[in-house]
Chains A and B, each alone.
Chain A
């Protein structure tokens, strides 16, 4: 059954947030030094491959969101925190990375390990 014009415009206006209203404890806090996991699922993921193994610092905690790696495959929301993690271009690209260039990338709890 096709959606109507009214339903289409209603969906545009309402949006569909991936935020989950769940009381989930964060695994990391702002200021933590973290490492992006070297994960290579054959299924959906939002982990950018270029960050595998790179270290960065948690800049901001955005709150609890559905986990796309499971959600996209109808395997549940697995709600967890999403953070803005700051990586230095030098750490990511080596000597080709700009001295004063930084990457800020959204990362879910399951994408990160703490660097002790």
Chain B
């Protein structure tokens, strides 16, 4: 817990979470070490940097890209990413003609091994309800203006399949290494609400 937490009164939700946590621990239902291990995993180990490595590899390695589009789960596992909420991964490719964007209208399904935990806006009712009805306006609010000629595909992940967007490689990056390319790739680009900028 950050030291700032000790210098101001706790908010109502923090007090409730603390009360719930101490009850669960006292009753022996939750081991605090297990909670810490999970928080550490999704704060430090699993996150969009994993997906960025997948994308950069696909940009520099054509056979890998083919494997990724054919069998996302297996190709992503080649780089060491697999497990919870990534048991069946499907990668969809953005091109100048086709733009893919992800949503889970029912809840918050998201490819954890490659992107970590979903951002708050991804779970919000406005994003979930609007992106299926009027994707272009939603994308515009994210700062992404698509040409009218581009096809938009909105993937609503209702099943256990998890999707990942393979963004377009930006122009002017031919001289960059795979590692440098990975540093350009953002979480939002892999959800499909942004493009990757050089």
Contacts and interface: CB of A to CB of B under 8 A. Distances in A.
B153 A102 contact: yes
A25 interface: no
Given A15-B85, A16-B84, A93-B133, A101 B152 contact: yes
Given A12-B41, A15-B86, A62 B161 contact: yes
Interface string A9-27: 1011111111100000000
Contacts of B87: 15-19
A72 to B, nearest CB: 12
A98 interface: yes
Interface stretch (B5-13, B29-37, B47-55): B29-37
Interface string B131-175: 011111000000000001111111111111100000000000000
B83 interface: yes
Interface residues of A, number: 38
23 contacts: A1-B28, A2-B30, A3-B34, A8-B38, A9-B38, A9-B41, A15-B85, A17-B88, A17-B160, A19-B87, A47-B158, A82-B159, A82-B161, A93-B133, A98-B134, A98-B152, A101-B135, A102-B152, A102-B153, A103-B132, A103-B153, A104-B154, A105-B155
Interface of A: 1-5, 7-9, 11-19, 46-48, 50, 62, 65, 68, 82, 84, 93, 96, 98, 100-108
